[in-house]
Amino acid sequence: MHSLLRSAAGVARRSLRVRASNDPVATAPVPQLPASSGPVMVWFQHDLRVADHPGLLAAINSGAPQLLPFFCLDPQLYAPLCLLPSGPAVLLAALARLRQQLRAVGSDLVVRVGPAATTTAAIAGAAGVKRIVIERQEESRWLEAGHMLAQQLDSSALPTRISSWQAPLWQQGSFKPNFKDWKESRGQALAPLPAPGKVPPLPAGFEPGTLPGLSTLQQLLEDALAAGPAEAAVAAAAAAAANGKAGRSSSPSSGRSSPTFGGRTAAQAAAAAAQLWGPDRAAAREQVLEQMLQEPSTASVAAAAAKIAQLLLPSELHTSSSEIHGEVPSSSRELRPEDILEAYLTADTTASPEPRLAFLRSSVSELEVPAAPGASFLALLGPLLGLGVLSSRQVYAKTLAAEVARWGGRMPLLGPGTVTAKAALAAVELNDFHRQLAGHIPQEGDAGTARGDPPARGSSSSSPAATSSWWGEEPVASAAASFDEAPDGVSQWGITDWPAGLPRRCSWRWRGALTDFCVVEPRNPKPGAPAIVLVHGFGAFGDQWRFNLGPLSEAGYRVFAPTLPGFGRSEKAALQYSQNAWRDFIRDFLVCVVGSPAVLAGNSIGGFIAASAAADYPSLVAGLALLNSAGPVTPGYTAADAAAAAAATSPSPNPWLVRAGTAALMLYLRSSIAKQLKWLYPTNPDNADEWLEQEIYRAACDSRSADVFASVFYLPKPRPLNFLVNDLWKGPTAVIQGVLDPLNDAQARSDLLVQQCAPVGLARSDLLVQQCAPVGLRAWNIQAGHCPHDEQPELVNAVLLEFIEQMVEPTMQCGSSSSSSPAVVGAAASKAHAAAAAADAAAVRRWLRQLRARHREVPAVMPAMQQLQCRAPAKQAHHMAPLVEQPERVVNAALLEFNEQMVEPAMLGNRTSSSSNSSSSSGAAVVAAAASKAL
């Protein structure tokens, strides 16, 4: 009863806050710039509008005699627009409208194509620009572009300074990283700023340039997507050299590592990526890219997005832009972005929309489903918000005004009364919160303990850890939070130069939603090594791999740990969450962020998502590791069963029951996080620490977190793990099982998965080519619970490295053609197995020497025992488990007695054998068989 009363009180408070929005909103501030005697550049990025533009107004107020509105079409930075319905068309329409608006107030939009930092620096130098004004960004690639621009300016003789601006939706105050606390403490909503009536002219004789056609723009972005981030960085470095801005060591082309590539130059990163892809894998990757470009949404939603792009074009360009799909009814009045928003808001009412926008009603109806409430706004108007054609403040103010007018001058007691208004308000609220969260610098008052002083600017040896952190120590510091802006705008502008070997948390937008990922670049990159991508489980986040990121990178690997959309600090956007959506997120992350083949390692549902990505996009994946993976294991499952399951439809659950069940479960879980974590970490409960508990709680308090949780009731029927691994993926696979998992019989699941991917009775060496088509599967059992990577990280790190070195890398070195040439991979797998067998023999010889010396510490020989276990017949795997799982005194004593009484006499009698190789291999077989008997 107390909980119900508390919930009712919360609803009442929220309703009062919404109703209070009828009061006059606060006036948005305009940043103050120093007076300028020379030209000022406004670099438009994701702010393609004139109204509600603080940076443009600040530049005008500075008294600059000339103003240069500038847009740099960097194909790599805008390439993800290809993955949105009509994304390139919306960008082209937004640029054409921005140019029209600037011309109406006495200016123009200068457009150039090229790498952002070098192109912008070159234009600033040619125009004699004194100051560049840009919007502060959160995405790592945009932060790095600004950082590189500051380096370019610092290395030149130009006295150009940089100033940044922001346009928050609510009054700035003390930001709270907990969404509920932030919502309670934030100030009034800020009103949109008006458009300027007059803009200073362009510098004399400056040519604005022409906008590319749609087909040209689309080709540029698609080529950049296909090239990947490493090749784009090479192009940027070449452009820097060509522009003559590479004179000092801070230049990106000088060989100094960039924020993106850690210990490597861009050219080294690109060369490594090209070597890893190889010709066959690269060809298969091209097919994946084609699929990515063709599947952003349903046909009807894609058609609606194309119509919106067409309607955004200024009227004089309609006839010359027939490339943009579809015809629209003609009209004497041009449509503004605000008109499209207004038509969207009336799509859920009986009001008659503008005839040219009548299609929005059917699109909203199609998108608003119980599994994804509010999804229509992001799908239809998300690109306008993401490119800044509409600001969050404009959407918020317009939506509130429409609702107040619709309900007779007052907001409804329980908030917005239409689906579209709820979706619009929730979208801009989430966007504002997560943008601030991404760049939040933890404060002493947030709770938690200090973690050290911030790094000295320009120091490569200092740690960029935050000054303090909330919820206990923060294991991975935020790159966006390291942003600093000195008064001079150059000497201390941008993000910290992140040293290799130190993890950082970055941001990346996927389908309009802000997500985050952890990344660490190796100090000493291993030639030919794949990247490692770690995928978390349900309710967790990338930071949970805190004890794996650094150690794996120390072995020479680039390591990434993305937070899936809907979890952790990633935005809980109104998307239709499912295992397929998360699989495609991993696919897009591999293409857009990682840029090279990777080993996927996933825990819980993250294991199932990793297996799905490997099965459906094998050209992007080098190896697969499953850590207590979710997903069924179904003997005898075939491709015909998969086709039948895909064609079948199942009834949707009752939305009201789902909502009630979700609310009850969320209330229970929020109140028992610490208890549940200790239960899931049985052998090392200390690692289920306060930081982990409170970060899970923080994420559970985010807006729409309940909708993400409710998605489990709408998930399609999953394909079995054994079908994904054995029938579709067919590549090197590791099963790493915490056998004390309280959620299920983990040992039995591991045995069943191994049996289905490697039938009982056959030696693993035979199965490598014959049964696992053709690369092998190996299983490790660890004394741990559901999250072995966080509970026993040292063991998991050792196993992952052993798996990659012995099973993954040998297949990549044989031509990188695992996805298209089973015969080649079969040979590579046999070679890898032979190498592993030789390592086994050497390990056994070392083990016997240790036993003779009465060395009783089993952990020293655990790698050998794990190898023996993996190469034993599948039916004997569980008999070998005590060697790895229970190194108690009785096992040690039994092994010593067995060695002294049986093995050593046999070895002394075999010293005259014909070859050392045959004796060592037979010794390995004797030890394996006799150890099983002794146990």
Neighbouring CB atoms inside 10 A of 10's CB total 12
Least confident range of 145-149, 267-271, 875-879: 875-879
DSSP string, 347-410: TTSSSPPPGGGTHHHHHHHHH-BTTBTTHHHHHHHHHHHHTTSS-HHHHHHHHHHHHHHHTTTS
144 located within any domain:
yes
Asked whether residue 240 carries a pLDDT value surpassing 90, the answer given is no
Q: What is the number of alpha carbons within 13 Å of residue 749 lying toward its C-beta?
A: 24
Most confidently predicted of 36-40, 746-750, 842-846:
36-40
Cis amide bond preceding 499, omega within 30: no
304 located within any domain:
no
* Banded model confidence at residue 464, pLDDT cuts 50, 70, 90: very low
Residues 6 or more apart from 408 whose CB is under 8 A from it?
none
* Banded model confidence at residue 669, pLDDT cuts 50, 70, 90: confident
* Runs of H (alpha helix) within 759-888: 764-770, 788-791, 793-803, 809-813, 822-852, 862-871, 881-885
**Alpha carbon separation from 444 to 19, 179, 347, 742 (Å, rounded):** 34, 18, 46, 37
Give residue 271's pLDDT.
53
**Alpha carbon separation from 920 to 91, 806, 845, 892, 932 (Å, rounded):** 67, 20, 7, 22, 18
Provide the b/e sequence for 171-188 (b: ≥16 CB within 10 Å): eeeebbbbbeebbeebee
Using CA atoms of 246, 249, 252, 255 in order, give the dihedral in degrees to the nearest 10: 110
Q: Give 46: exposed, middle or buried? Use CB within 10 Å, 0-12, 13-18, 19+.
A: middle
CA angle 522, 524, 529 (to 5 degrees): 75
Amino acid at 786: H
Q: What is the mean pLDDT of residues 377-394?
A: 94
Give residue 190's pLDDT.
93
Q: Which residue has the higher pLDDT, 300 or 28?
A: 28
275 located within any domain:
no
Residues 6 or more apart from 197 whose CB is under 8 A from it?
105
Residues 6 or more apart from 762 whose CB is under 8 A from it?
770, 771, 873, 874
Give residue 283's pLDDT.
62
List, for residues 111-145, the tens digit of each pLDDT value: 999 999 999 999 999 999 999 999 999 998 998 89
List, for residues 538-578, the tens digit of each pLDDT value: 999 999 999 999 999 999 999 999 999 999 999 999 998 99
Asked whether residue 780 carries a pLDDT value surpassing 80, the answer given is yes
Tokens (6 digits) for 586 = 């991993």
Give residue 210's pLDDT.
93
Mode of pairing for the β-strands spanning 513-520 and 504-510:
antiparallel
List, for residues 628-667, the tens digit of each pLDDT value: 999 999 988 888 888 888 787 777 788 888 888 888 888 8
Q: Cα–chain-centroid distance for residue 13?
A: 35
Q: How far apart are CA 879 and CA 793, in angstroms?
A: 24
Most confidently predicted of 154-158, 491-495, 782-786:
782-786
Quick check: 791 and 785 in contact, CB under 8 A?
yes
Give residue 492's pLDDT.
55
Using CA atoms of 835, 841, 845, 846 in order, give the dihedral in degrees to the nearest 10: 40
Quick check: 874 and 764 in contact, CB under 8 A?
yes
Quick check: 206 and 468 in contact, CB under 8 A?
no
Residues 6 or more apart from 769 whose CB is under 8 A from it?
826, 829, 830
Quick check: 193 and 57 in contact, CB under 8 A?
yes
DSSP element (H, E) containing 562: strand 559-562
* Runs of H (alpha helix) within 198-354: 214-242, 266-294, 299-312, 337-345
CATH code, 549: 3.40.50.1820
Q: How far apart are CA 108 and CA 205, in angstroms?
A: 13
Give residue 459's pLDDT.
35
Give residue 212's pLDDT.
93
907 located within any domain:
no
Asked whether residue 822 carries a pLDDT value surpassing 60, the answer given is no
Which residues share a beta bridge with 41? 68, 132
Among 785, 814, 843, where does a domain finish? 814
Quick check: 109 and 98 in contact, CB under 8 A?
yes
**What secondary structure letter does DSSP report for 446?**
G
* Banded model confidence at residue 596, pLDDT cuts 50, 70, 90: confident
Asked whether residue 383 carries a pLDDT value surpassing 80, the answer given is yes
636 located within any domain:
yes
Quick check: 146 and 162 in contact, CB under 8 A?
yes
Choose among 481, 505, 478, 503: nearest CA to 494: 481
Q: How far apart are CA 772 and CA 770, in angstroms?
A: 6
Give residue 462's pLDDT.
32
Q: How far apart are CA 778 and CA 547, in angstroms?
A: 23
Q: What is the number of alpha carbons within 13 Å of residue 362 lying toward its C-beta?
A: 11
Average pLDDT, the chain: 76
* Domain extent at residue 185: 40-230
List, for residues 324-365, the tens digit of each pLDDT value: 444 444 445 678 999 999 999 999 888 877 889 999 999 999
Asked whether residue 264 carries a pLDDT value surpassing 80, the answer given is no
Give residue 205's pLDDT.
84
How many domains is the chain built from? 2
**What secondary structure letter does DSSP report for 742?**
T
CATH code, 121: 3.40.50.620
Asked whether residue 489 carries a pLDDT value surpassing 80, the answer given is no
Neighbouring CB atoms inside 10 A of 450's CB total 13
Give residue 510's pLDDT.
93
Provide the b/e sequence for 894-909 (b: ≥16 CB within 10 Å): ebeebbeeebeeebee
**Alpha carbon separation from 742 to 99, 607, 676, 681 (Å, rounded):** 61, 17, 10, 9
List, for residues 412-422, the tens digit of each pLDDT value: 777 788 899 99
Beta strands in 430-538 (DSSP E): 477-478, 484-485, 493-494, 504-510, 513-520, 531-535
Tokens (6 digits) for 628 = 């207590």
Choose among 496, 446, 380: nearest CA to 695: 446
Among 760, 789, 814, where does a domain finish? 814
Q: How far apart are CA 211 and CA 92, in angstroms?
A: 8
593 located within any domain:
yes
* Banded model confidence at residue 217, pLDDT cuts 50, 70, 90: very high
Among 209, 230, 251, where does a domain finish? 230
Unique residue bearing structure tokens 């791999």: 545
Q: How far apart are CA 883 and CA 303, in angstroms?
A: 61
Mode of pairing for the β-strands spanning 621-627 and 598-603:
parallel
Asked whether residue 761 carries a pLDDT value surpassing 70, the answer given is no
- Four-residue CA torsion sign, 346, 92, 44, 585: positive
Q: H/E/C letters for each residue in 169-201?
A: CECCCCCCCCHHHHHHHCCCEEECCCCCCCCCC
859 located within any domain:
no
* Banded model confidence at residue 910, pLDDT cuts 50, 70, 90: very low
439 located within any domain:
no
Percent of the chain with pLDDT over 90: 43
Give residue 135's pLDDT.
94
Provide the b/e sequence for 534-544 (b: ≥16 CB within 10 Å): bbbbbbbbbbb
* Banded model confidence at residue 292, pLDDT cuts 50, 70, 90: low
Give residue 279's pLDDT.
56
